[in-house]
Amino acid sequence: MTTDYIKPELVCPAGNLPALKAAVDAGGDTVYLGFRNASNARNFEGLNFSREEAEEGICYAHDRNARVFVAVNTSPGPRDTTPWTSSIDMAAELGADAVILSDIALLAYAKENHPNLRRHLSVQASAGNYEALEFYAREFGIQRAVLPRILTLDAIREICSKSSLEIEIFASGGLCVMAEGRCWLSSYITGDSPNMNGVCSPAHAVRFEEENGTLDVKLDGMLINKFAPGEAAAYPTLCKGRFEAGGMQGHVMEAPYSLNALEMLPEIFAAGVHGLKIEGRQRSKHYVRTVVSTWREAVDACASNPDDYVVQKEWMASLDATSEGGAHTTGAYEDAWR
């Protein structure tokens, strides 16, 4: 079925230096990270890299034949763009292999000031068709694009067939069904942009309140879930709340499962995807090590014999044990909703 294919690289999350080392040691081809400022979409306490940590991490990765991409994937405000432009400068100075950008002004800055630094288009640009990607390639010289998690595999296959760009897709981790980083639902409820505050549900807006044995979960005073005694309570996001709508009660927007495309690897290989991205810069080094090592085994197994590739039970068990809700989904990749 897949006589001609590209073996995609594993692009792995690194929220801090220990996670970076765990990803590289577990077999990650590439790690992606952000600096400790507002220039990346995981900007909160305890995450991200100082200049010294980034320099050590890049050296660690390069010494082991792994690459490092730097996410500068939020949009500057109208006043001071220094945190963003200085992050691009630092990525170039430290020898990063690429910067991941979404804002057109930052793309233009990187192209003009660091023409030899690879520019990748972030998923936060929400470029989901061939024409949009061609615009970014023509105007800003991008060499790779990360596609939104709302596209079917058929759509991804079509984009790969038409575009000269490298295409990267999310394969594992959190599943976002909104415009990436610009969720109007959570912005409306909490008053904070997920893009600029590092998380869909900022801690100041989250409340867990127990009443008659039931745990009520609220965002800025709005009840979004109830958990029975003994039921596992996940960290709340509005899109994964349980509501009553249209005579239905439950997860009416999105079930709280993690994306897992292991079962679709032969089709993904055949589609021409260059990168498989694992979400999770906010997760622990143990999570990173577990997920990356599992995906390493699966990708290598598929590459060696894609026609006879079979997902191993232990791979699924390993990923489900670390997933949100303890279960997985292939999301829109094989959705027939169209």
Query: Going by C-beta distance under 8 Å and a sequence separation of 6 or more, which residues neighbour residue 177?
Result: 149, 150, 239, 253, 254, 331, 332
In sign, the C-alpha dihedral spanning 222, 225, 226, 231 is negative
Q: How confident is the model at residue 120 (pLDDT cuts 50, 70, 90)?
A: very high
pLDDT for 256 equals 75
Per-residue pLDDT at 88: 98
Residues 295/25, Cβ–Cβ less than 8 Å:
no
Question: What is the Cα–Cα distance from 324 to 330, expressed in whole angstroms?
Answer: 14
Residues 287-318 pLDDT 10s:
999 999 999 999 999 999 999 999 999 999 99
pLDDT for res 245: 84
Q: Where are the alpha helices (DSSP H) in the chain?
A: 17-25, 51-63, 82-93, 104-113, 130-140, 153-162, 184-190, 194-197, 265-271, 285-304, 313-322
Q: What is the pLDDT of residue 301?
A: 97
Q: What is the pLDDT of residue 182?
A: 66
Quickly state the pLDDT bin for 285 (edges 50, 70, 90).
very high
Instruction: Give residue 304's pLDDT.
Output: 94
- Which two tokens mark 59? 């050296």
Residues 68 and 64: their CA atoms lie apart, in Å, by 11
* Percentage of the chain exceeding pLDDT 70: 95
Domains present along the chain, CATH in parentheses = 9-175+257-334 (3.20.20.70), 185-250 (no CATH)
Report which of 188, 186, 170, 191 is spatially closest to residue 268, judged by C-alpha positions: 170
Q: What is the pLDDT of residues 124-153, one digit of tens each?
A: 998 999 999 999 999 999 999 999 988 899
Q: Which pLDDT score is estimated for 2?
A: 43
Question: Which DSSP string do the residues of 290-304 spell out, in sequence order?
Answer: HHHHHHHHHHHHHHH
Would you tell me how many other CB atoms lie within 10 Å of the CB of residue 204?
11
pLDDT at site 75? 86
pLDDT over 60 at 238, yes or no: yes
Average pLDDT over residues 171-195: 77
| Among 258, 282, 200, 275, residue whose Cα is nearest residue 14 | 282
236 vs 281: CA distance, rounded Å: 18
| 149 contacts 123 by C-beta, under 8 angstroms | yes
> What average pLDDT does the structure give for the chain?
90
Label residue 38 by pLDDT band (50, 70, 90).
confident
**Span 46-69, average pLDDT:** 97
Average pLDDT for 51-70: 98
Q: State mean pLDDT over 258-281.
A: 94
pTM of the model: 0.90
